[in-house]
Amino acid sequence: MPDRRSQRTSNSSFDPLNINLQPPANETEEQKAARLEAAWEATQVSRTIDAGLAESKKALEKKKRAVKILLLGQSESGKSSVLRNFRLSFTPKYFENERLVWKTVIQLNLINSIKKILTVLQEEWEELETDSAESKHEPALTSEHRRLALSLSPLLAFETSISRIMESSTGDYTVTVRPGGGWKDKLASFGHRSPSTPEAQSPTGETDSDPSQVTQVLAACKNEMIALWDDAIVRGVLERHGVYLQDDSGFFLDDTARIAALDYIPSDRDIMRARIKTLGVEEHRFVTESGFRAGTEFYITDLVCALNLTYPSQRSTWVPYFDDVQAILFLAPLAFWQSLDEDSKVNRVQDSLELWREIVGNPLLAKTAFILLFNKKDVLQAHIAAGVQVKKYVPSFGDRPNDVASVTKCTFVFSVADFRDKFSAYHRKFSPEPRPFIFYETEAIDTKSTAIILGEVQEQIIRNHLKDLDVM
């Protein structure tokens, strides 16, 4: 019988792989069964891998046909409110399903404001204990204020408990969560558990409070919260400590009577005003239920706080998100009186303009449409109506009339005739290729007017996207 070497020279159809795959000589039935079982399992694994690759390829192709938007701007510029307006306008069913989740966030916002007041009062008491009698402020805090503070202390325990459920932190009096939206699922599901079940136990073995119990506690403390906020002496203490809660996002103290009611359900406007901070990049996917081309898939990426120019080292972290983006919504808040939280020496308007110049000049975004939203016009109007003098914060404003029309036409720090023209000039000068300058003045918490603007924005973006896909 010829050996394998003679077969190799005499048989042109010789296949060494086939020979190696042949069953070994003297193979038992048990060995054969094991070999066939292993071969079957290997085939199944291979098919699973192939199916996964095919599914990933299919998902990638589908995502390429989706509309991708970047939402850019400073922290506190109103990006989250704009995103919620997108949800309200184009995915109303989804938005409605989240209403009770946002109720808990709003309640936490209210509690955080009370917590901030109590912290300032405690600081005031400590100062009074160390100061001489002559240096004490008049009028001073009384025993009634101590009683109010003590009666509201249970709210702080609930704030800690709910924050634990959401895996959030409130160190800066702001609800801060991880990206991904998992906190919403935790809040939604926790209310259906009994506090005595293992799932309702914290890692330390403590029992977390059901979010629905916060409503009961707020209702019980409603009168004390109103009394604390309405107290003229407390207001004076806050002012002496430089605390102006009305300027904070997530401010609901003026609505305490309504929000602390047992039957409270948040309005659309309440949800837009709610303050929650996400640390990190967050991508939101949704399919439109209404509007132009209903059924269109959107991916909106919020780069959150990573865009501040005072941290240039962070720029490399957001460059990857520029790939294959159809449009950038850039929010520039009209907050001439504010400086950055990260750097008190930098004016917000100046920072927005510098950030705008940086973004429009990026060659990776040469084909991307830019839509500029001058946001928080309502807050600007409120400050002007309250008599805030622009020239106090911006000497270059000079003796122009202290009204909204004059303020919106001024670039403040740059002393240029027209605020919008400065953005337009940077857009024209630094864009790698010519493209239209599109802008709107918005009030992100005004759901009706913002819905009209976003409807125009949505249609414009989709039409441009369909042209790129050669569909139109």
Annotated binding site for Mg(2+): 278
Q: Is the dihedral of CA 465, 468, 469, 472 positive or negative?
A: positive
Q: Which residue has the tokens 């959030």?
A: 168
Q: Write the Ramachandran bin of 286: left for phi over 0, alpha for psi from -120 to 50, otherwise beta.
A: beta
Which tokens go with 427?
């857009």
- C-alpha–C-alpha distance, residues 95 and 92, integer Å: 5
Query: Where do runs of H (alpha helix) occur along 347-409?
Result: 348-360, 377-385, 390-393, 404-408
CA end-to-end span of the chain: 72
What residues are designated binding site? 278, 375-378, 444
Task: Report how far Cα 379 is from the mean position of its chain's Cα atoms.
Answer: 20
Per DSSP (E only), the strands in 178-333 are 277-278, 282-287, 297-302, 327-333
What residues are designated binding site for GTP? 375-378, 444
Q: What angle do CA 336, 339, 340 make, to 5 degrees?
A: 130
Q: What angle do CA 41, 47, 50 make, to 5 degrees?
A: 145
- C-alpha–C-alpha distance, residues 356 and 292, integer Å: 28
**What are the distances in angstroms from CA 428 to CA 33, 238, 363, 382, 387?**
74, 45, 14, 32, 35
Please give the single-letter amino acid code of residue 344: S
Q: What is the DSSP letter of 365?
A: G
Q: Is the dihedral of CA 443, 70, 271, 110 positive or negative?
A: negative
